[in-house]
Structure 1
Amino acid sequence: MVEHLMHPHEDVRDLLGMRTREAWLILACYLTAMIAVTVATISYVTSPWPAALASTVMIAATIALIAVPGDPLPQSATVALTAAGPAACALFLSVTPPVLQSVLQLWIHGAGTAIYCFMNVRGRRVAPWIGLVGMVAVFAAWAAETEYGAAYGVSVVAIDAAPLAMAALLSFTLRPTAKAVFSLRNQTTARIVELSSDAAVADERSRQLRHLDSLVRPLLERIGDGTELTELERSECALLEAHLRDRLRAPILTTLELDDAAYRARTRGVNVVFIDDLSPNGLDQRLADVLYTTASTTLHTATCGQVCVRVLPTGRTTVASILTRDDHGTCLREIDQDGNIHVI
């Protein structure tokens, strides 16, 4: 059925505006009218408390019809709303005398029918008819003990079958339309996400090209002149090659802005190696901060030897390691899942 094809987060109430401020204002007016009718007919009943309780049941059921999330209406709410009509009618009729003094005395079945009509819209088509039959049975039992007879009680509620049938037919048109609207909305959202992703990729590509152009172009133009490079320029080429290798081999580390620290360490003769075995999953920001602080400090203080910074694959207790080799020996710092640093 159509309603079972809808996404869990799609709710026909959104299409009907049932969660808007205006809808709640209309609901408040409707509930006020329900209370006013109860007050107007309270003098015709033998006891006010069952009548007031019946009205309370209808008010609670009406609010639940609007407030309960889910599409179709959840099963527990469906059962409760279905039972609300007959229960409220039984309460109200239990204190309604057989001789009617006002046409408003039997208003309670109309409130139940209104709920059942909207239950159709919310994807429940069988339960409302069960509720209507229950109200017919209650009215028939009440009227059977009066001079009118059971047929009168049936006729009072049977006319409610017409609006309920119209609501059922409306639901067969409205719900497929709602499904189509939600589908189009999801497609639009997916397209926007795709376009945003493409734009982000294009922006990043442009940024990387500008960065690469600023680094490489001067040396390429110098090489293109055909003149022999100086020793300083050769060193610049080696440093640039190492920098570009880092960006390709360890993008997550260049994202942490360790480029400058690595460049300065290399100018001091340190062999810097970046290894990224985690991309493209990325690194938790808290762990990234710990890694950046530890790695940058190590690179800034290194004067010789080798510094190897590695981000390890997912699933290991150690998320990153920093290995240093110099005249003082070898030192390995490991960062665990909690951000703690272990020196080995």
Structure 2
Amino acid sequence: MSRKPGFQNGFFKKDILSVDQFDRDGLAYIFTRTDEMSEMVETVGACDLLHGYTLACVFYEPSTRTSASFIAAMERLGGNVIPITQGIQYSSVSKGESLVDTIITLEQYSDVIVLRHPEIGSVAKTAKYSGVPVINAGDGAGEHPTQALLDLYTIRKELGSLNGLRVAMVGDLRNGRTVHSLTKLLMNYDISLRLVSPDVLRLPLGMMNELIDKGIDVRETDRVEDVIKDVDVLYVTRIQKERFTDMAQYEEVKNYFEITPEVMANAKDKMVVMHPLPRVGEIHYTVDKDPRAAYFRQVKNGMYVRMALLAAVLGQA
């Protein structure tokens, strides 16, 4: 018998594949559950809510934070993990096994599957064949819904509200799946956007048109200095070398942005600097001591959000 339940609260579908699944009510529900998970961990460390359940964590691309936080989330909730995160090349994939067959095999041992794959749309296609819930942990330059959820939760926790904010997205806006997913979630709120990137890495036109159609105040520039004085959130991303086919073009833009204490001196006293990590020089280590630097708090929030999501897809939230 299939164990592929939906979200019992009625807000969500059985899988978590795209941020398009989440409206404001759904986001509020997940964030309330996330607050509860955070309080539980801070108070008692762990619980047995998902005792007897098993997570298969399957990553076809490298990961540190996403894979580790899902594993930690499942274990904090008392569940078990099948980790296939650092050695996919040693699995039957190396023998030519299809993604679908790999997932159908793993569902025989697990109750939920977290999947990262380099092809856009691959996770959603594969989920159609799975008898257990599938959570998208990143599909190429497509989406990264759980990262966007933890990003949005972090903004809410740091600043107290998600309305009336001015958010700057900085870096690789063309290839950044975290940018794409977070931008979609932000469309649910009364915000304005500042898009900061070199011309070759601008936000895809389709998404820009969607922002304009929704009446969101959005402006583009290639200088952080143009926005730093006015923004509430500075969301910085690395220039993604692995997405470039022309390495000469990458060399031209790889050090385009650098957030330093000198840059931060011009920012508001109450604002946050965020980054999905890893960073490769775009935020100097000297910024880490600035209380406005929220990226490691962001990392910790990721575990709490993923605890809430795992509990929800397994019908325990």
The answer to whether TM tops 0.5 is: no
Q: What TM-score range do you get, normalising by the shorter chain?
A: under 0.3
TM-score, normalisation: structure 2: 0.24
> Of the two, which has the highest radius of gyration?
1
Higher strand share: 2
Higher helix share: 1
TM-score, normalisation: structure 1: 0.23
